[in-house]
Structure 1
Amino acid sequence: MDRLDAMDLFTRIVEARSFTKVASDLGLPRSTLTDAIKRLEARLGVSLLHRTTRVVRPTLDGEAYYRRCLSILSEVEDAEAAFSGAQPKGRLRVHVHGILARHFLLPSLPDFVARYPELEIEIGEGDRLVDLVREGVDCVLRVGVPADSDLIIRKLASLEEVTCASPAYLDRFGTPETLDALEGHQMVGFKSTATGAVLPLEFVINGQVKAVSLPAPVTVSGADTLAHCGRLGLGLIQKPRYSAAEDLASGRLVEVLRDTPPPASPVSILYPRARHLSARVRAFVDWADSALRQDTGAQA
């Protein structure tokens, strides 16, 4: 059994949490799998698996090795597919901004699945920083200006942002017509998951961005909670127009300071340089690009 076969066997055992199930699936004696993993552990000089009578699970070293194996096996598959002209296949792990994905991507996800039936798509959700290589993630979809990194960054679209507040808040504090009128106002604080800092409100004036920090009696770290606090009258908020559209149409929120809007937020896909020629990543990036461009809320 060569190294790639051993890696493939190891990943199957980790995912099935069982030697017996994998042996049955592959039609091999269980002893063959046990011997292969023992040789693999001996070659690496570490223990990869915790074995009990009920379950098999990876050690910390095993978890890290599992992620690297996924990356290597994926690259081999992609290299072969590139020369054979085969359809992308295998597991595609993506990490997305949840609200953005539900609005722009998920409605057309059935079409993507139908177009690439041999792909197995695993979608993680959140705004946390993801170590793509270590965690075995193929690409991430993010809103905002990406931090400097060694990743390839492909900008897909820009999302128009709005400043808004509830009618109850504006009745209490007044409707600001200019930035100077923001004195005496307050905002719902939004904490950056990347830096932990509370982000200021931002406004574009003559092509320049001006940051304004206001008192924030409440600070949150989730976009849904930010919107809910805005509807409750706890302060001014800024959010993408597409996600505020329903609240603006119903009157639960009112747009203010239209003449000095927030800067648009870029939407980007990031992926490791080693995945640049991945057929799976290329298929997903092209589809996500198309999905965003087709929606009138995303200005490509």
Structure 2
Amino acid sequence: MDSLGALNVFVQAAEARSFTAVGRQLGVSSSAVGKAVARLEERLGVRLFHRSTRAITLTPEGSLFLERCRRIFCEIEAAELELSQTRGHPSGVLKVSLPLVGMLMMPTLSAFMRAWPDIELDLDFTDRLVDVIEEGFDAVIRTGEAGDSRLMTRTLGTFRYKLVGAPDYFAEYGIPREPVDLVHHRCLHHRYPSTGKLEKWGLFDEAGAALGDIPRTAVSSAIEPLLSMAERGIGVAYLPDFAVVDRLAAGTLVSVLDEAVQRGGTFRILWPSSRHLSPKLRVFVDHMAETLFSGHLS
């Protein structure tokens, strides 16, 4: 058990890249963490970390040892989970980070909570880049590519963008037949709260050139106000299809220039690779993958 404790300290230090951070997590001093790692290095006869005043980094031997330790802990967790699954249903707190647009996933999240009432969702909505391991998240949902080798990932689904407006709006202003027609329309824009930049509308003319400046009638750092304004006939909005699919079906919004919109994205769920999928995380991952985009997204 003492050896497992030392391996745990090593894994946490390798993932956090800081003896101080690990000390805070374990309730001990950074020097105690450093001494535990030093004793492990002495016993193994290799140096596991390069140390500097600013940070610690793994040596090649340390990287190999880390992967082996992760497999060891995964096997231990798997054994524990096999036993725990015999005692009842998945339960406990599940801490998940979602992008701000994830607020539009609430119907799917609500369905999960009804299906698994013993699991408490702790949801953090933010567009900032979170450190999944350092900040203690069980999982994160994001768009784009997964660039952290410490994380496992599963694709939840793909989405496309759509240009939408209310039928009354298009009756008054006309339906744009090509992207350049948007210069005569009232356009509702999304600003990324993390950078302050406007989201670009992925529109291209017949020659394949990207559309230039688009008029601004309103700008919002959240998707929901744009959705509301578009539905109330204020203007045209550029929104992901999963955000508007129900309103398109109901007829309160209609889409235009579908052939000209050439941008989309992929949602992925990520979790620490050093952890075996717990029952609560497994049912959450399965639920999101099976239901988030079911029925209307490719």
Q: Give the alignment's TM-score, normalised by structure 1.
A: 0.61
Distance 1:261 1:232 in 2: 23
Tell me the equivalent position of 2:76.
Answer: 80
Give the distance between the partners of 1:258 and 1:40, measured in 2 at CA: 56
Give yes or no for contact 2:179–2:211 (8 Å, CA) kept in 1: no
TM-superposed CA distance for 1:103, in Å, is 2.8
- What is the aligned partner in structure 2 of residue 102 from structure 1? 106
Contact 2:112 2:284 in 1 (8 A): no
Helix, strand or coil at the partner of 2:288:
helix
Q: Which amino acid aligns with 2:78?
A: A
Q: Is the 8 A contact 1:161 1:238 kept in 2?
A: yes
Give the equivalent residue in structure 2 for 1:266.
266
Q: Per the alignment, do residues 153 and 187 of structure 1 end up closer, same or farther by CA in structure 2, a change over 3 Å counting?
A: farther
Partner in structure 2 of residue 93 of structure 1 = 95
Distance change >3 Å, CA 211–CA 129, structure 1 → 2 = farther
Tell me the SS of whatever aligns to 2:184.
coil
Aligned ranges 1:1-300 → 2 under 5 Å? 40=27, 79-84=75-80, 85-86=82-83, 87=85, 90-97=92-99, 98-111=102-115, 113=116, 117=118, 120-142=120-142, 144-146=143-145, 148-150=147-149, 151-203=151-203, 210=210, 212-275=212-275, 277-280=276-279, 281-292=281-292, 295-299=294-298
SS of the residue corresponding to residue 183 of structure 1 reads helix
Shift of 1:76: 9.9
SS of match in other structure, 1:288: helix
Corresponding residue for residue 27 of structure 1:
none
Distance 2:76 2:120 in 1: 18
How big is each residue's C-alpha offset from its partner over 1:244-268, in whole Å with a ceiling of 9 and x where there is no partner? Answer: 2343345433321133245333221
Using the alignment, how far apart are the partners of 1:178 and 1:261 within structure 2?
11
| TM-score normalised by the chain length of structure 2 | 0.62
Counterpart residue type for residue 110 of structure 1: R
Structure 1: which 5+ residue stretches go unaligned? 5-36, 46-74
Cα contact 1:238–1:262 (8 A) shared by 2: no
Q: State the match for 2:13 in structure 1.
A: none
8 Å contact from structure 1 (residues 186, 214) kept in 2: no
Task: Please give the secondary structure, in 2, of the residue aligned with 1:260.
Answer: coil
Q: CA deviation at 1:216?
A: 1.3
Identity %: 24
Query: Structure 2 CA distance, aligned partners of 1:215 and 1:81?
Result: 55
TM-superposed CA distance for 1:177, in Å, is: 0.8
- Asked whether the 8 Å contact 2:188–2:219 carries over to 1, the reply is yes
User: SS of the counterpart of 1:203?
Assistant: coil
1:247–1:89: structure 2 CA closer, same or farther, 3 Å change rule?
Answer: closer
Deviation at 1:269, TM superposition (A): 0.9
Any idea what the Cα deviations from partners look like across 1:167-221, whole Å, max 9, x if unmatched?
Answer: 4543453211112322333421101234321012113789x79455412132101
Gap runs ≥5 in structure 2: 6-23, 33-70
Aligned residue pairs total 231
Contact 1:92–1:121 (Cα < 8 Å) also in 2: yes
Equivalent-residue separation in structure 1 for 2:111 and 2:258 (angstroms) = 30
- 1:155 and 1:200 mapped to 2: Cα distance? 24
Root mean square deviation of aligned Cα: 3.9
- What is the rounded CA distance, in whole Å, between the counterparts of 2:291 and 2:209 in structure 1? 29
